[in-house]
Amino acid sequence: QKEVEQNSGPLSVPEGAIASLNCTYSDRGSQSFFWYRQYSGKSPELIMFIYSNGDKEDGRFTAQLNKASQYVSLLIRDSQPSDSATYLCALLRGGTASKLTFGTGTRLQVTL
């Protein structure tokens, strides 16, 4: 089982809809979770992070964490064509200092 699993997509949503991106992980000792956005040919940029169970909102983005079920998700409200990118889930495991473990990413396409 992969440490971090994401559906590669593409996930296609119409403009204005809610995009839901999901990530599951195997290590229950994982402490913090991160969502990165990566445009084609560019480097990843941090959108938000979460470390407590529940929801965390930042503008149009909401991260959701459920440690009991070992999943983390990212909701993007009012999706825009500029949100079309690959979204990487990453986690910080206990005992690994600051080394993040990344999923392979989900490609999101927002259609007009």
| Ranges within 22-41 binding another protein (CB under 8 A) | 32, 34, 36, 41
| Ranges within 69-98 binding another protein (CB under 8 A) | 88, 90, 92, 97-98
Return the residue matching tokens 């990165």: 36
Per residue, the 3-state secondary structure of 45-111, as one string, reads EEEEEECCCEEEEECCEEEEEECCCCEEEEEECCCCHHHCEEEEEEEEECCCCCCEEECCCEEEEEE
Kindly tell me which of 99 and 112 has the beta carbon lying closer to another protein. Answer: 99
Among 5, 9, 100, 109, binds another protein (CB under 8 A): 100
For residue 101, the minimal CB distance to another protein (Å) is 9
Tokens of 53: 């169970």
Query: Can you give the binding site for another protein, defined by CB under 8 A?
Result: 32, 34, 36, 41-46, 49, 51, 88, 90, 92, 97-100, 102-105
